[in-house]
């Protein structure tokens, strides 16, 4: 008896982009290991942290000709089956026209209980393949704790807690942990 050959049904970024362009505007999808994954709406606490990050990072980034954007997909030539959408992306130069960037300077992920394993695992591995990425912030939701991953030249990790200012020489400034969690009770 012959066994049917198994077909690899994973999407590559080019297929995904074409597929995602045809989706309704109110749907948000990211590509993870070749599979489109629909993103559910974030809860209020998550949104507040994202808003704070965009506000303070954009103020820092603007002085360097950069901007902080929520919802940009990240691309890497090293992994053609990923197009994750982190919570905040700092990119220099003109804003991307199509919602994708392959040259982020900084990425911030706000960790949710439902995505914690993926965000701290495969996504972190993916982000490390992006040559332009200098800083990755993994921001915890329920405690004042930020994991600061920095390319220096190998990746290092520091943890920033209450009362700490995260030094961001890439943006000629710093971001206080208090600013990230402003207007929230921990």
- Please give the mean pLDDT across all residues of the chain: 93
Look at residue 134 and tell me if it is in a domain.
yes
**Contact by Cβ (8 Å): 159, 149:** no
Look at residue 113 and tell me if it is in a domain.
yes
Comparison of pLDDT for 9 and 61, the residue scoring more:
61
Average pLDDT over residues 165-169: 98
User: At 123, which CATH number?
Assistant: 3.90.1570.10
Look at residue 49 and tell me if it is in a domain.
yes
Tell me the Ramachandran region of residue 163: left when phi exceeds 0, alpha when psi lies from -120 to 50, beta otherwise.
left
Look at residue 9 and tell me if it is in a domain.
no
Whether residue 7 is predicted with pLDDT greater than 80 in this model: the reply is: no
pLDDT of residue 2: 59
Comparison of pLDDT for 11 and 6, the residue scoring more:
11
**% of the chain at pLDDT higher than 70:** 96
Q: What is the pLDDT of residues 103-157, one digit of tens each?
A: 999 999 999 888 877 888 899 999 999 999 999 999 999 999 999 999 988 999 9
Look at residue 34 and tell me if it is in a domain.
no
Spatial neighbors of 107 by CB under 8 A, at least 6 apart, are 74, 86, 88, 89, 90, 127, 133, 135, 136, 137
Look at residue 7 and tell me if it is in a domain.
no
Spatial neighbors of 47 by CB under 8 A, at least 6 apart, are none
Enumerate the β-bridge partners of residue 160. 146
For the question of whether the overall pTM of this predicted structure is more than 0.95, the answer is: no
Average pLDDT over residues 84-90: 97
pLDDT of residue 115: 80
pLDDT of residue 5: 54
Domain count of the fold of the chain? 1
Look at residue 20 and tell me if it is in a domain.
no
Look at residue 164 and tell me if it is in a domain.
yes
**Three-class DSSP category at 162:** coil
Q: What is the pLDDT of residues 10-43, one digit of tens each?
A: 999 999 999 999 999 899 999 999 999 999 889 9
**Three-class DSSP category at 131:** coil
pLDDT of residue 3: 55
In which domain, by residue range, is 76 found?
43-180
**Count of CB atoms within 10 A of residue 68's CB?**
23
């Amino acid at each position: 008896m012959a066994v049917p050959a198994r077909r690899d049904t994973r999407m590559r970024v080019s297929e995904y982009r074409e597929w995602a362009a045809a989706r309704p505007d109110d749907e948000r999808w990211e590509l993870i290991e070749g599979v489109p994954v629909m993103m559910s709406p974030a809860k209020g606490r998550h949104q507040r942290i994202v808003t704070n990050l965009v506000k303070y990072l954009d103020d820092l980034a603007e002085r360097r000709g950069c901007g902080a954007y929520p919802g940009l997909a990240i691309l890497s030539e090293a992994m053609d089956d990923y197009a994750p959408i982190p919570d905040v992306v700092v990119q220099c130069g003109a804003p991307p026209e199509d919602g994708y960037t392959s040259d982020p300077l900084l990425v911030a992920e706000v960790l949710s209980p439902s995505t914690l394993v993926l965000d701290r695992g495969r996504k972190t591995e993916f982000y490390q393949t992006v040559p332009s990425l200098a800083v990755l912030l993994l921001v915890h939701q329920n405690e004042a704790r930020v994991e600061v991953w920095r390319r220096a030249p190998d990746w290092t990790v520091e943890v920033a807690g209450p009362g700490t200012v995260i030094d961001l020489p890439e943006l000629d400034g710093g971001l206080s942990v208090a600013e990230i969690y402003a207007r929230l009770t921990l």
